[in-house]
Structure formats: structure tokens, C-alpha cells
Structure 1
Amino acid sequence: MKIIPTLTAIIVTVALYFVVFERDRLFQFAEETAPGVQTEATSYAVDKATAEEMEAEDTAQTAVKVVVLRSEARKIESAVVLRGRTEAARQVTVAAETAGLVISEPLRKGTAVNAGDLMCSLDPGTREASLAETEARLAEARGRVPEAQAAVAEANARIAEAEINVNVARKLSEDGFASETRLISAEAAAEAAVAGLQRANSGMASAEAGIQAAEAAVAAAKREIERLTIEAPFAGLLETDTAELGTLMQPGSSCATIIQLNPIKLVGFVAENDVSKVAVGAPAGARLTNGREVVGTVKFLSRSSDPVTRTFRVEVEVPNDDLSIRDGQTADIVIASDGRTAHLIPGSALTLDDNGTLGVRVVDKNNMALFAPVTLLRDTIEGVWVADLPEQADIITIGQEYVINGVLVDPTYSEAEG
């Protein structure tokens, strides 16, 4: 009774072997033993279907499936991005110009001052007396002027009288009514009068020089007194306390440091490759470390580069009415420049060629993959803007890493957003 199950198992095993491992021979045996012959039309249809299937399989095996973005170039505003800092529009350490003790109460740092406000006052000492002395000397010098003027007038009168005497003596001598000695004496008197005039003119010049010297001494004494009061040169904030009461100041000693924060400057350094993109008057903006965004205008672009970094200093002026922007804050500066055409593509579409050149893979009209170098202009949330591509480009966004130049691709197109 156990032989039948065993035989059944053997038969089933053999049948499965022929079905699985010897299927081709089994089908060939069935075709040879099957009655009848295929017609010519049936044979042609089978051959044609088989050829189409083989051609489709070959095509599928040759073309690489990729996703392609059909992109149109658009005009975008270009920009130069810099890393910089804020800087006070003005900053100066106000120093003493003369010596003296400070007699004014100090102003504390952070105090707002206007142009001309008193910051430090020095003890005048004997300077008032010196001024009075120089003014007295000036009055004395001016008093000598009338005396010198009278001497000049007297000398001129003597010269006129001497000239008359010389003319009379010469006329009488020619007519024989006077001796030669009288003519010589008259001429000598005329020469003496001329010498007296020269002395009078010299006295007049000396008096005028004395006046000028006295006036200069008075001006110096007044200027010395003016130096006793140290005033704010412009409106701003005190960065340090003013000099303490009783401090002995010497010429060059610091009274206080004052800064002006409105407007404030944004200072950055632009690379020599981008310096041609920046122009004075161009609009600019910046983001500070606290997230605040400000806008301004380029006011200065250096004509000389830094000898070490080969970069050019650029300054942007920004309003700061509330003085909330401080000197020395870090800022990301963006300066607008002339726009250009570019394509917006996903960042993942970028690739490198064998030489390390940045670019993308594009599809030509024959569905062949090609490498196209690009210039990266800007990175945004929507994607990256790239230039140096044609106005219309079919850019491979998925599968670009699996193809090289000249490889046939099977593209699936997607349209650009926005």
C-alpha cells in the first residue's frame, strides 16, 4: 500500500523538473508532436511581434530615463554680497590745546551733545592779565602813529622850503647877485631835509610795525583764552566721560571721545572680481546680526585696493534716526548691480565634469545628454540662479549623474515654476 504514494511523488517530481528546468525542450517536443502546421500569415504575425518586442527592449535598454526641466531664461537683478560691519559716521577724540586745570563738572559717557556744547573748561590763570598787557601795548603803539605822521609832515615841509631856497640861490648865482657859496649851502640844506624825511618815514614804518606786533600779541592772548573752553565739534554721543574736575590738562590731553551715529556707515570690502559691479549711488541693503534689515546708498568706493587682501573698501550710508544701530555691529551687505538673464533651477541639478567645472546636463534636439558649464549667481529658497545657458534650455534635474556627453536619454519633461 506504500508503493503507490511513493510512485506518485516520483512522477510529480519528474513532471516539475521538466516544467521548470527543461521547459524549452518540453515545448519543442509538444510542437513536434502537435498536429497541423502554422499558416504563413500566423508565422509572419508572430515574427513581426517578436521583432517589435526586441526593438522595444533594445531601445529601453539603450535610452536612459531622466526628468528634464524645460526652462526659459529670465531677467533678474544681480547683486554683490559682502560681509561687513557698521561704523560711526564720525568719531574724534577732542583734546586740549593749552595747559590748565579742569574747572568744569564732567559729562558722563552716553550723553548727547550738540555742536558747540561745552565739554571741558580750564582755569584761565594769568591769561586775562596777559591780554590786558598786550592791549595796553597796542594802544601805546597806536599812540606813536600821530607823532610819526607829524614828523613826516615836518620833513616834507623842510624839503619844500629847501627846494625853494635852492632855486632862488641858483637864479641869483646865474644873474651874479649871489655867491656860489650860497647856492652850495642851499643845496646842502635840501639834502639834509631829504634825509630828515627818510628818518620820519622810518619812524612811521616802525610805528606801524609796532601796531601790527601789538595786534598779533592781542590776538594770541585772546586765542589762548578761547582754548580754555573745549566744545563739541559736531552733534553726537559721548563715548567716554569728559575730563574730571581738577585734572591737569596738557596740550594733547584728551577731554572726551565723541561719535556721530546718524547717519551710520556700513563698511565692507569687495573683491577685485566684483568691484566693477559696484557704483557710487547704487542702492544697497543689509541684515544685522539681530535680524534687522536696513537700506541705504553707496557713498564711497575706494580707488586703491588693500595691499594684502586686494580688496576695495566700500561704504554705504544708512539713516539711524533712533540711534539703535551701534558702531561695530556685523552686517551682511547686499549691493544692487546691473541685472542679467539667468535660469532658476533646483540646486540638486548642478553637477561637475571631469575637470571639476560646475555645470548642468542638458538634452539636445536629438535627445542626447550634454554638459553645459554655468555661473552660479544666487542661491535662494526656490533654487539657484545660473547664467551662461541659452535662452531656452532642457535641463536634466533627475538622472544627470547617470549620463555623460553623447548618451541617449528618454526624457520626461516638467515645466518651471513661477
Structure 2
Amino acid sequence: MLRAFFQRPWLLAIVLSVALLLWLVTGSWFKASEQAPADQPPAQQDALAQVQFEWREAKPMQRQHLVQGQLEAWRRVDLRAQINASVVALDRDKGSNVSAGDVLLTLSGDSRPAELARDEADVRQQEAAAAAARRLYGQKLLSNNDLLKVESELASARARLDATRLALSRTRIRAPFDGVYDERRVELGDYVEPGQSLLSVVEIGRLKVSAQIPQQDVARLAIGQPVRVQLLDGAQLDGTLHFIAAAAEPGTRSFRIEVAVDNPERLRLAGASATLLIDTGEALAHAVSPALLSLDKDGRPGVKWLNEQQVVQFTPVQLISVSNQTAWVAGLPKRVALITAGQGFVEAGQQVVAREAGRVN
């Protein structure tokens, strides 16, 4: 039979054609079975992010500007030698409280006392000569030019006497104001020259706190505003804003301010850092956890909240007051659905599924 089959080529062609057709049909069927039917619904989209929110109402809050500052002595003076002399006495110990006019250090007078006696005698002699010349001039026995010459010599003698007295007074270095004898740079026996630094006196009965205020906040400040100065140990001092720079510093675009603070007990605070709290008016603000604050692409702090369509919103806020537990912020709607959980996993404009805190679904 097989011999008859191969002797008929046309019959072989028919068999091969049928086999090829069956292979194509079965292959297409298996391939189609691996694909979803045309009428099958698309895959389920990913689940929406879930967040938790709380309704918050704004409350009136005293607007407060917080800035880091530096405590400084109210004034400081560096006393320098004005004559050539040697240090002959250390009249006060450094670190002691002093009053204006107290002698702190004495320099050698050298020949100045003798020069003073000579100049005083010279002045007395010239005064007597001038008196005699005036009598003669009144009797028309002396010309006007001769009188002027005698009076000129008297004036020169008095000028020399004043200069000698001034040089002698400069041998005693005195405190220019009430304060603290803060530092001494010479020792007993040292030879000093004009311009050489001897010691410094600082006034700490009153202090000033200097700080830099950003240009966008300086308009809210005014001379005379009360300021609270908080020290690192938690203590507070009351001060008054007494200086605002007229121009910003070119490098930082910020304005220097100074706050005057009374320090009647003369506590040694100069040089320490402090925090300034400046009240700048009332504003509507929300109390939020500092953990809920985030930054936008420009570095501004803000808060995420929900609109009525449960779409995430981000609003930059102004920090009115910040502590470890609470941040008071202004700039949000008066009543706001604040995202309190899950805010770190969502972005502005994102649709979410929201659940109110404390509500059981």
C-alpha cells in the first residue's frame, strides 16, 4: 500500500498540505490562549495612598520673630599709652569692678614734675611782666607792639604749662566709665610708648544683643519694641530694640539689629549666644507638630492638607513660634483638614483615600 502511495505524488502532496494546515491552526490557537480576550477588562489600577487627617481651626496668636544673637558688652575701650614712660604701679587688679575716674595703672613721671615747677614759675614771671607792660602802656611809656610781644610770651608760657600738666596727667591711667577692668597687657617695669595698648575696660551693667534680620522681616521691626532674650540655660532677660541698620550687609542681604538689656547684677554674659524673641503683632495661626513641616523645592517650610476632593495640597507657612513640641504657623486656611499621618508618602496634587483621626469606619 505504501508503495502505491509513493507512486502517486499528488496524493503525497495532499497529505502534506493537510498536515501543514493543522499545524498552523493549532499554533495560532495556543498563541491566542496566552493573550487576554479582547473583551476582558483592563488590570485593576494600584490602590490609592491612604492618609489620616484632623480638622484644625486657626487661633489668634502673637506673631513672634525668633532669631539667634550674640551678647556683647554695652561698650568696651582699649586704653593706650600717650607718653614714653615705664609702668611703676599696678593700682587695681584686672577683673575687678571699677568706677569712672579710678586709677588703674601708673606710669613714671620722669622729669615731668620738675618741668611742671619750671613752667609754673615761668608763667608767674610772664604774668608779672605783662602786668608791668600794661601799666607802662597806660602811661604811654610803652608801644603797642612791645605790649603785644610781652602778652605773646605770656601765652606761650601758659601753653607750655598746660602741655606739661597734660603729660603728667597721662601718667595715671583712669577708668573712663563704670565697668570691669577686663584685661591688662603690660607688667610692672615695662617700658611703653605712645599708642601701645595697656589695658581694657568693659561696661556690663548694660548689655547689647546683636543679630541679623532677613530683609523680608525687617519691615515688621521698630525702635523701642520689647524683646525677650533667652539664654542657653533657659533664663530670660527683658530688652528693648534700640538699633536697626539703615542698609543691609551686601554679602547676606540681612540687617544688623541691637537690643539693649539691663544687667544690674553685672552677670558675666558678654560673648555668650542667646535667642531673641520679638513680638511683631497678632496673626491667625495653627498649632502643628514640628514633624508635620516639610520643605518645598525652594526650601520654604510648609504643611500638607486636603481639599474637599481629597487631593493633597501644600502651602508654604510662616513660622511664628517653634518649640520641641509645637510649631505655630500662619498662612493656612482658617479651617483646614491637616494631614497628620502618611504625609511623607504623598505629594501635592495627589488623590488619596483619607480617614479622619479618631473616626471608626
TM-score (norm 1): 0.65
Q: Does 1:118 find its partner at 2:60?
A: no
The 1:133–1:291 alpha-carbon spacing in structure 2 relative to 1, beyond 3 Å, is same
Which residue does 1:15 correspond to in 2? none
C-alpha displacement of 1:239: 2.0
C-alpha displacement of 1:388: 2.1
**CA-to-partner distance for each residue in 1:28-71, whole Å, 9 max, x for gaps?**
xxxxxxxxxxxxxxxxxxxxxxxxxxxxxxxxx99987544222
Output the CA distance in 2 between the equivalents of 1:103 and 1:356: 62
The 1:409–1:403 alpha-carbon spacing in structure 2 relative to 1, beyond 3 Å, is farther
Output the CA distance in 2 between the equivalents of 1:223 and 1:72: 73
Output the CA distance in 2 between the equivalents of 1:356 and 1:111: 49
Q: Which residue of 201, 220, 226 maps to 2:169?
A: 226
More strand by share: 2
3-state SS in 1 of match to 2:143: helix
Output the CA distance in 1 between the equivalents of 2:63 and 2:109: 62
Output the CA distance in 1 between the equivalents of 2:305 and 2:130: 99
Which residue does 2:338 correspond to in 1? 395
Which residue does 1:92 correspond to in 2? 77
Which residue does 1:266 correspond to in 2? 209
Q: Does 1:76 find its partner at 2:61?
A: yes
Which residue does 2:284 correspond to in 1? 341
C-alpha displacement of 1:410: 6.0
3-state SS in 2 of match to 1:390: coil
Q: Does 1:363 find its partner at 2:348?
A: no
Which residue does 1:134 correspond to in 2? 119
C-alpha displacement of 1:315: 1.6
Which residue does 1:212 correspond to in 2? 155
2:311 maps to amino acid: A
The 1:341–1:117 alpha-carbon spacing in structure 2 relative to 1, beyond 3 Å, is same
Pairs aligned (count): 311
Q: Which residue of 333, 356, 361 maps to 1:412?
A: 356
Tell me if structure 2 keeps the 8 A contact 1:119–1:255: no
Output the CA distance in 2 between the equivalents of 1:89 and 1:354: 42
1:119 maps to amino acid: L
The 1:146–1:237 alpha-carbon spacing in structure 2 relative to 1, beyond 3 Å, is closer
C-alpha displacement of 1:95: 1.6
3-state SS in 2 of match to 1:240: strand
Which residue does 1:284 correspond to in 2? 227
Tell me if structure 2 keeps the 8 A contact 1:118–1:230: yes
3-state SS in 1 of match to 2:88: coil
Tell me if structure 2 keeps the 8 A contact 1:67–1:414: no
3-state SS in 1 of match to 2:114: helix
Output the CA distance in 2 between the equivalents of 1:315 and 1:280: 10
The 1:152–1:351 alpha-carbon spacing in structure 2 relative to 1, beyond 3 Å, is closer
C-alpha displacement of 1:311: 2.3
Output the CA distance in 1 between the equivalents of 2:347 and 2:122: 101
Structure 1: segments with no counterpart, 5+ residues: 1-60, 156-195
Which residue does 1:36 correspond to in 2? none
C-alpha displacement of 1:232: 1.0
TM-score (norm 2): 0.74
2:356 maps to amino acid: T
C-alpha displacement of 1:82: 1.9
Output the CA distance in 1 between the equivalents of 2:237 and 2:299: 38
2:66 maps to amino acid: V
Which residue does 1:152 correspond to in 2? 137
Tell me if structure 2 keeps the 8 A contact 1:106–1:245: no
3-state SS in 2 of match to 1:91: strand
3-state SS in 1 of match to 2:124: helix
Taking only the aligned residue pairs, the percentage that are identical comes to: 26
Give the greater-gyration-radius structure (CA).
1
The 1:152–1:321 alpha-carbon spacing in structure 2 relative to 1, beyond 3 Å, is closer
**CA-to-partner distance for each residue in 1:270-300, whole Å, 9 max, x for gaps?**
2222222332222222333334333322222
Tell me if structure 1 keeps the 8 A contact 2:80–2:199: yes
More helix by share: 1
The 1:300–1:402 alpha-carbon spacing in structure 2 relative to 1, beyond 3 Å, is closer
Q: Does 1:107 find its partner at 2:111?
A: no
**CA-to-partner distance for each residue in 1:185-236, whole Å, 9 max, x for gaps?**
xxxxxxxxxxx9xx71111222222222222122112112211211111122
Which residue does 2:315 correspond to in 1? 373
The 1:329–1:408 alpha-carbon spacing in structure 2 relative to 1, beyond 3 Å, is closer
Output the CA distance in 1 between the equivalents of 2:299 and 2:108: 74
Output the CA distance in 2 between the equivalents of 1:207 and 1:93: 43
Tell me if structure 1 keeps the 8 A contact 2:312–2:352: no
The 1:285–1:322 alpha-carbon spacing in structure 2 relative to 1, beyond 3 Å, is same
3-state SS in 1 of match to 2:93: coil
**CA-to-partner distance for each residue in 1:123-177, whole Å, 9 max, x for gaps?**
222222222222232223223334433443444xxxxxxxxxxxxxxxxxxxxxx
